[in-house]
Structure 1
């Protein structure tokens, strides 16, 4: 029963809300210091969560499905236009290492949580795959893997609530860590020291300074959107062919199922083809201005959508142990990130943004770096975190296939 003020069938009202709230979140982030510190991504997510629980907007609607099915696939290539593998290694090799060490924490947490709770949570193999991919890449991986493993709608909704609640809480923890003496004593803090030395003599928020107006032409917009559509169309077409060509199911061997899962998956094919195209034709993709802005705005809309089905009553009624599971994954990521970060002598700022990029994706990690004034970390963590979109689908798929055997 739809008891919300805005009904699920009010298509244009809901479209206006999604696009408008994403825009408002960006506006707040760029014009108010407090919002910049929280980050626009969290404002988008939490705002939708609050409005959904107050029954202002519906928990389900075809509009939300449109975002999952069309907006997210278009956002992926736009965000990957800068994901030149050679460039990532040359410019961000050090940050790439701590990112993968942090990702190991995610995988360890998923394994621990699965074997502790698999007898008590139905469908935990699917949730394990979704959360592993999401907590290495981001929300787009969650969407891709939930579709791949055909997770039931109620399970996806419950997982989204648990994910969002834990993600928002963890972001606030990461925001607070630079002010805690224990961490500043145990880790070097070069970016914080540089900011303290230079001072803050501007009235602009860090977000406004980073996302400042840039020269962009109609051609840039056309090439960005057109290329993104082309990559999605070709990738999904090839994936469909591969899915039909390569046999799969219980009556075929593991290798065939594995290749079907990799080559026949829409999102894996999309991320792989985009990565190859960007690496083979770097000048073309680097010459397109505005792709990061367009992709980021679409992801802000997605952040609004993943906050919508977050009925707090639903998670406590139907799947409270999912909260325990995602807590184990996030806690494992944090412990291993900071432990190995300390052992390998990474700075506090590097560990924080790497862990953030794992749990929330490159957009939230970049937003945090911008909010904190660690501007030299913004581009590297965007590049490294974008690679997480690619590997997250592969690792999440592997975890899901493994867990499904139990």
Structure 2
């Protein structure tokens, strides 16, 4: 079994971040290379906005560039959040690894249920799939101009060279060497965006899936508790379960706190992106290639949003199920004192653990709502036309 969060850590290492080893936590200091990576992505806004200003009378080009501008803004939010909470991210990674090792030891001793081990496999699979998806989306944009240049030479036609992203530099970016410089700049920006998105988004869904597994383990511990045993043994088992529950609630709150800016940005910016891309789709129905590009881009940003909504949903659902686990246990065999403790667990479990930011809540219901809005926009734009 691979190391927990290995893929995400490799992406962060590629961006110059050093992960924690064993029980060590990296310091929260930011080096020049971290600040440079953020400034580098922020700098991409200038050629993007310049492109919008230069083509302000062409709505098709403006909307095409707006979707890229919004994506870049979202990446800036993710990088800034990670840098601001850098030490907290590494601390959570380290704590989940410790809990994962404890779970593996329980499996060896015969006291585990395999939830955490299975969650690690699922999280690793989703992390790889998401990283590949982001990589292929970026690669698709990078290869597009190259394919067009090769195709035009093969057909013997004239082709005006275009950059992978809609950008307008303060130099001649059509002819050599300006075009090559602009192309290389775009590639480097894309690499940074893909690496940080794969790391930050991948960590969130991995944290959420592992939290679900630990909540499931807690539920089984409570449900399988034998309250007919001597009170001393029962009290020790219940104390362990309460401590476990408190830690999971604390980790959930910490996850919500450090991801608050990202969740807000993800919902707000994705809502804007959906409107822009839907407009592009509806107005370019006659071009198969454009439809493929826009559908690919729409699928990519909706996948990002889905990961946050799915992660928030499973944490909310599993935290509520702790209440059900207590009710399904043989609580009626417990003493009056222990029943009061179980009642407190029930009361706390009835409060949903929500991953939210402002009025945005990461849940599948909100994801479906945005999908419905997208369909409504299609109908509205078609009726206006």
Please give the TM-score of this superposition, normalised by the length of structure 2.
0.26
